[in-house]
Amino acid sequence: MVGYLDRAVADGNDREARWYMLMAALEGGMSIHMGLGPVHVLGHVFADSPIHHGALIAASMPPVVRFYQARGDDALNGKLEALGYANDDLDALADYAMNVHFNATAPIRPSHAEYRDILAETLG
């Protein structure tokens, strides 16, 4: 989406940029209705802070997921698999994660083993 926002704003006839913005909006809306509504609610609760909305959403997600899990709701477990994500090669995924450029700005960079653990938890 980031690569298309400026294009879509600059030229309303750029159909490719508009398609990617449409998909970003659709996927964002779908995520709200996948059982994580409280995550988005907290993003709005803290909206008066100088922190970016996406960062607020990301920071709110773990406590909300723990809230669901503490109440015995297994609906979030295995969501990636349910959505059709079938890659469970944790070592290969952790190798990939180690080389993603976003690690450069992470306040704490996970080790390979830590990424493997994070991935295992993410995949359910």
Residue 70 shares a structural domain with residue 91: no
Indicate if 122 and 82 belong to the same structural domain: yes
Percent above pLDDT 90 for the chain: 21
- Same domain assignment for residues 39 and 26: no
Q: Looking at residue 98, what is its pLDDT?
A: 92
CA distances from 74 to 43, 49, 97, 117 (A): 23, 32, 26, 19
As to burial, measured by CB atoms within 10 angstroms (0-12 exposed, 13-18 middle, 19+ buried), residue 24 is middle
Does 86 lie in the same domain as 64?
A: no
Pick the range with the lowest mean pLDDT from 5-9, 46-50, 51-55, 64-68. Answer: 64-68
Number of domains in the chain: 3
Same structural domain for residues 42 and 17? no
pLDDT number for residue 114: 92
| 52 in the same domain as 21 | no
**Do 46 and 71 share a domain, yes or no?**
yes
Q: Answer whether 38's CB lies under 8 Å from 50's CB.
A: no
CA dihedral 17→51→61→34, nearest 10 degrees, is -30
The whole-number pLDDT of residue 14 equals: 93
State the residue for tokens 């306040």.
107
Domain span at 40? 35-75
**For residues 85-113, average pLDDT:** 84
Q: Indicate if 26 and 62 belong to the same structural domain.
A: no
Give pTM, 2 decimals: 0.47
Q: Do residues 17 and 27 share a domain?
A: yes
- The torsion region of residue 72 among left (phi > 0), alpha (psi -120 to 50) and beta comes to left
